């Protein structure tokens, strides 16, 4: 039986954090046998919020190294830059004709970014972010899209565009489904619902044990629990959320200790930091290998780009045929 196809991607902003792993990357790794996967470095999408391109290439390589170090296998799934496959932009142009401005203005992800980044005037490319993302997904006929929760509205827009195209010109595209992880969102160490480097509340996949401890020491906990002995409420504490992910065996113990007061926050954080570092150890090890063999990383990228290009060209050919513009 034919394997279903996955397309997923991330914007290259440099090294990844554990929120990227928990929200998406872990799922990519898990699904790479069951599905035929394509993994995209969304370097054009970065321009929607930052026109400075001097770090884009290095950031793409850093992100690719994290993908590989975490366990994505280039033999199974091509990894490539959006900017190198021209068909993405070609299809995005056509898709731009199939969706209204008002639909794009209602995109909640855009609204959040406009608010968080204090954007006064939205550029055309930012409004069209989901249109390019739809092209990313559909040029590979992606049927499933493993992403974090914040990307679900973009997958919904992709489905609408696929439907519209198919109705207008004939059946070409599947209607992709989002695939969420169990922990689609890991809070930041400041308690913000989202972990992000720009909010300076992240633990990186490449952070050594000392750095992880230092970051965890600053983590915000239940404000009513001031010293050991005070009872706390783990449900409102992000450290507890991290325990659930990285230290599941001790969760009942942490829960009971926190509520009764016998567990102090400093101990609780250090136990958690240790488990996070234990999880990161093999990733850091593998990262060193790739850092020392950058030529291998670059080869992986160029092979991925060649493979992706073949599929993208096939789809674009079909699109042109259906549109009688072949």
CA distance 226 to 223: 7
Options 136, 143, 207, 305; binder of ligand TRP; rule CB under 6 A = 136
Number of residues interacting with ligand SF4: please give it, by CB under 6 A: 14
The torsion angles phi and psi of 4, rounded to 5 degrees, stand at: -70, 155
Answer yes or no whether residue 265 interacts with ligand SF4 by CB under 6 A: yes
Stretch that binds ligand TRP, among 100-108, 114-122, 129-137, 258-266 (CB under 6 A): 129-137
Answer yes or no whether residue 203 interacts with ligand SF4 by CB under 6 A: no
For ligand TRP, the closer CB: 185 or 213 = 185
Beta carbon of residue 253, minimum distance to ligand SF4 (angstroms, whole number): 11
Answer yes or no whether residue 42 interacts with ligand TRP by CB under 6 A: yes
Options 22, 25, 40, 91; binder of ligand TRP; rule CB under 6 A = 40
Answer yes or no whether residue 107 interacts with ligand TRP by CB under 6 A: no
Beta carbon of residue 291, minimum distance to ligand SF4 (angstroms, whole number): 34
- Specify the pairing of strand 79-81 against strand 5-10: unpaired
Options 56, 104, 110, 147; binder of ligand TRP; rule CB under 6 A = 147
Contacts for 293 with CB less than 8 Å, ≥ 6 apart = none
Paired residues of 9 in beta bridges = 40
Options 17, 45, 194, 269; binder of ligand TRP; rule CB under 6 A = 45
Stretch that binds ligand TRP, among 132-140, 202-210, 258-266, 295-303 (CB under 6 A): 132-140
CA distance 91 to 132: 8
Options 179, 204, 268, 308; binder of ligand SF4; rule CB under 6 A = 268
Number of residues interacting with ligand TRP: please give it, by CB under 6 A: 15
CA distance 34 to 31: 5
E strand or H helix that includes residue 304: helix 294-322
Say which DSSP state 196 is in.
Answer: -
Residue 268 interacts, among ligand TRP, ligand SF4, none and using kind-specific CB cut-offs from 5 to 8 Å, with ligand SF4
Q: Which of residues 219-238 bind ligand SF4 (CB under 6 A)?
A: 221-222, 225, 232, 234, 237
Tokens 């394509």, residue located:
38
Options 70, 137, 189, 195; binder of ligand TRP; rule CB under 6 A = 137
E strand or H helix that includes residue 301: helix 294-322
Paired residues of 84 in beta bridges = none
Contacts for 28 with CB less than 8 Å, ≥ 6 apart = 6, 8, 37, 39, 67, 72, 77, 146
Which token pair is 85?
Answer: 């496959």
Answer yes or no whether residue 273 interacts with ligand SF4 by CB under 6 A: no
Whether the Cβ atoms of residue 162 and residue 175 lie closer than 8 Å to each other: yes
Tokens 């998406």, residue located:
24
Stretch that binds ligand TRP, among 39-47, 93-101, 228-236, 249-257 (CB under 6 A): 39-47
Distances (CA, A) of 318 to 136, 165, 307, 314: 16, 12, 18, 6
Tokens 């884009």, residue located:
56
- List contacts with ligand SF4 (CB under 6 A): 221-222, 225, 232, 234, 237, 239-240, 254, 258, 263, 265, 268-269
- List contacts with ligand TRP (CB under 6 A): 7-11, 40, 42, 45, 133, 136-137, 145, 147, 151, 154
């Amino acid at each position: 039986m034919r394997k279903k196809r996955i397309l997923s991607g991330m914007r290259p902003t440099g090294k990844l954090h554990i929120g990227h792993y928990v929200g998406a990357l872990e799922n990519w790794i898990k699904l790479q046998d069951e599905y035929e996967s394509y993994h995209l470095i969304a370097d054009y999408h970065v321009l929607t919020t930052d026109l400075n391109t001097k770090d884009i290439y290095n950031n793409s390589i850093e992100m690719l190294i994290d993908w590989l170090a975490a366990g994505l296998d280039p033999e199974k799934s091509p990894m490539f830059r959006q900017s190198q496959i021209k068909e993405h932009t070609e299809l995005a142009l056509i898709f731009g004709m199939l969706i209204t401005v008002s639909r794009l203005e209602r995109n909640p992800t855009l609204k959040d970014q406009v608010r968080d980044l204090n954007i006064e005037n939205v550029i055309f490319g930012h409004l069209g972010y989901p249109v390019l993302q739809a092209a990313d997904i559909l040029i590979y006929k992606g049927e499933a899209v493993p992403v974090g929760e914040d990307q679900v509205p973009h997958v919904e827009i992709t489905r609408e565009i696929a439907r519209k195209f198919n109705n207008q010109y004939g059946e070409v595209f599947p209607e992709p489904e989002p695939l969420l992880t169990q922990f689609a969102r890991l809070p930041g160490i400041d308690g913000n619902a989202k972990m992000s480097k720009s909010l300076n509340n992240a633990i990186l996949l490449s952070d050594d044990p000392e750095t992880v401890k230092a970051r965890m020491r600053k983590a915000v906990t239940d404000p009513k629990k001031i010293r050991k002995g005070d009872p706390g409420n783990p449900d409102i504490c992000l450290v507890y959320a991290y325990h659930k992910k990285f230290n599941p065996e001790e969760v009942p113990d942490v829960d009971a200790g926190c509520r009764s007061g016998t567990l102090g926050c400093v101990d609780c954080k250090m136990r958690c930091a240790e488990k996070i570092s234990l999880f990161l150890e093999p990733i850091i090890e593998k990262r060193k290998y790739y850092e020392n063999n950058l030529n291998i990383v670059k080869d992986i990228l160029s092979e991925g780009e060649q493979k992706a290009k073949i599929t993208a060209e096939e789809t674009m050919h079909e699109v042109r045929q259906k549109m009688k513009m072949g």
